[in-house]
A and B are shown apart, each in its own frame.
Chain A
Amino acid sequence: MSTLSYAVRDSATMLRRDVRHSLRFPLMTISGMLLPIALLLLFAGVFGHALGASSAAGASYIDYLAPGILVMTAGFAAEATAVNICTDMSGGIIPRLRTMAISRASVLTGQVLGSMIRTMISAVLVTAVAVLLGFRPSAGPVEWIAAAGVFAMLTLALTWLTVAFGLLAKTPAGANSLSLIPAFLPFLSSAFISTRSMSGGVRWFATNEPFTPIIDTLRGLLTGTGIGDSAVLATAWCVGLTLAGYFWARALYNRDPAG
């Protein structure tokens, strides 16, 4: 068998291990889902009326909010990835895997694929809750597929990035705090209100940070608002972050552990 097919096979083995962990300990996945759902309830139910007035006129606020919350779901799910990776690294089996003649990337690839599956499932459930709360997407099948693609692209980028965080941090608690960055950046984006209604430096930051074009693209696909150049920007950010996260994680995994 060729090196590549061994790499695929080893990745599948590591993915099976990851899925088995998730099924045995679903709490981490569930808790990653609870926060976006709580935010949905809070912003749609409590602040919805006040915030809705400042965003797109006419449309209901939940239609504006739901795509942003979906993006946050990916951010919160990535947190679990960082903690999983760091726990794995700080003891037990990973040192053994590093002394085995297996494709090195497969250890990380298995985790990334497992994390993507978890995140996609979370996203489906969060979407279902949003629909229950009144979210009425106008997307047809093509738009849904495109939206799923954008979401998968974002998840891949965030997962590789948080894998690197997990490898970088010395403790699971440290990994957790590092991964708060992607989890909370959407708060300073177009997730809750239009960046046009922000002012000064906050507006500049929110307009130019990666989550805004990603959320705007997703919102455009799902609810028919204008996308403009957001799709191109979103793709560029996702590809860039994926490559950065992948090479960073690979370098961290291959380095000499100092101790």
Chain B
Amino acid sequence: MITSAARPAVMARGLRKSFGDHVVLDGIDLDVAEGSVYALLGPNGSGKTTMVKILSTLLTADAGTVRVAGHDPGTEPGPVRAAIGVTGQFSAVDNLLTGEENLVLMADLHHLGRAGGRRRASELLGRFDLAEASGKMVATYSGGMQRRLDLAMTLVGEPRIIFLDEPTTGLDPRSRRTMWQIIRELVASGVTIFLTTQYLEEADQLADRIAVLDHGTLVAEGTADELKRLIPGGHIRLRFSDASELGSAARALGAATQDADTLTLQIPYDGRVRSLTTLLNRLDGLPIGELSVHTPDLDDVFLALTGHLQSGQDTPQ
């Protein structure tokens, strides 16, 4: 028997897409294992949304092979659509309906029947903390509520593969954490998640594998740990109260960048607790005024992998 676990939920080989002369995706290869979370990390204009649109049957690729749930989204959109759910960057909700009406609309389109649809709607409203606002028009919802409703609508049809295009962009930190929690619960239920994000922290928190997209090509791919090893941006900063303490600490540590004006030392840090313990041991009781840990951000990733900073907002794809 051929097990479905051997088949990737999403597969792309040599995927290309251009809009006129503008090459958006320039030969993408990726495999997303069933039941895993895959993050596509990249700045605005790197081609993330175009990638999601191709995988979710909204756009057709110019060249390359694509399989989603075993089917080609370009030539067999039907079975792909039946297997996927999409939550886009901009809330795909009907602003003129209430939260409950939006969910019932989805239930009707999935042919769940009248009673079944209402049951599913109220269950999702409860689970996403929207029960209280269920009778209010979506236009009055906050950004976080709209995003939760958006995801709830995606879940009405119980998709096996879920695409989340920048699920937390524009959300406040609290709504972002709520969203992360919801995504983790989804993963626990066995679905495959393909998400795009601009935030390294988000990919780190949620994803099993991360691919870094820059100007339409994947510049790195691996687990969060593998990726971080490539990035020298993480460091620990120590501040001392006078120049002599700074001097002794610098001698004790060896490889550190000294700044005499601010009395600080900057030491490369790989994010492991053991490295921090080793560092403190080597300081051997020297009085430290202040210790801060700096984890790499997307700028560090880009600088390390591409040698240039994020390209910024050049194309709204």
Contact = CB atoms under 8 A, between A and B. Distances in A.
Interface in B24-56: 56
A21 B94 CA distance: 10
A13 B108 CA distance: 7
Nearest to A102: B109
Given A20-B97, A24-B96, A93-B92, A101 B59 contact: no
B94 A93 contact: yes
A20 B94 CA distance: 12
Nearest to B17: A256
Nearest to B317: A259
Interface residues of A, number: 26
A49 interface: no
B308 interface: no
A99 B97 contact: no
A24 B94 CA distance: 13
A258 B92 contact: no
Contacts of A170: none
A99 B78 contact: no
Nearest to A10: B109
B81 interface: yes
Contacts of A25: 96
Given A92-B93, A92-B94, A259-B317, A99 B84 contact: yes
Contacts of A58: none
Interface in A127-171: none
B92 A96 contact: yes
A95 interface: yes
Interface string A199-229: 0000000000000000000000000000000
Interface string B75-96: 0001001101110101111111
A258 B56 contact: no
B57 interface: yes
Contact of B58 (A17, A21, A99): A99
A98 B108 contact: no
Contact of B94 (A6, A17, A100, A102): A17
A123 to B, nearest CB: 25
B220 interface: no
Contacts of B19: 258-259
Contacts of A91: 90
A33 B93 CA distance: 29
Contacts of B102: 93
Instruction: Determine the main DSSP class of B at the interface with A.
Output: loop
Categorize the interface residue count of chain B. 20 to 34
Interface in B99-119: 101-102, 105, 108-111
B51 to A, nearest CB: 14
A56 B75 CA distance: 60
Nearest to B154: A96
Given A100-B81, A101-B78, A259-B316, A95 B92 contact: yes
B58 A9 contact: no
B153 interface: yes
Given A21-B96, A95-B92, A259-B317, A101 B82 contact: yes
A100 B56 contact: no
A183 B90 CA distance: 33
A36 B91 CA distance: 37
Contacts of B153: 96
A24 B139 CA distance: 13
Interface string A239-259: 000000000000000001111
Given A17-B94, A92-B93, A256-B60, A6 B157 contact: no
B92 A92 contact: yes
Contacts of A181: none
Contacts of B90: 91-92
B91 A92 contact: yes
B72 to A, nearest CB: 15
A97 interface: yes
Nearest to B60: A256
Nearest to B82: A101
Contacts of A6: 111
Contacts of B111: 1, 6, 9
Contacts of A102: 109
A25 B90 CA distance: 23
Nearest to B94: A93
A10 B91 CA distance: 22
A258 B201 CA distance: 31
Contacts of A10: 109
Contact of B101 (A1, A20, A96, A99): A20
**Residue of A9, A20, A93 with most partner-chain B CB within 10 A:** A93
24 contacts: A1-B111, A9-B108, A9-B111, A17-B94, A17-B97, A20-B97, A21-B96, A24-B96, A91-B90, A93-B92, A93-B93, A95-B86, A96-B86, A96-B92, A96-B154, A99-B81, A100-B81, A100-B110, A100-B157, A101-B78, A102-B109, A256-B59, A257-B59, A258-B19
5 tightest CB-CB pairs across the interface, nearest first? A96-B92, A101-B81, A101-B82, A13-B108, A99-B86
Given A95-B92, A259-B317, 10 more contacts: A16-B108, A17-B105, A92-B95, A96-B88, A96-B92, A98-B58, A100-B110, A101-B78, A256-B58, A259-B316
Interface of A: 1, 6, 9-10, 13, 16-17, 20-21, 24-25, 91-93, 95-102, 256-259
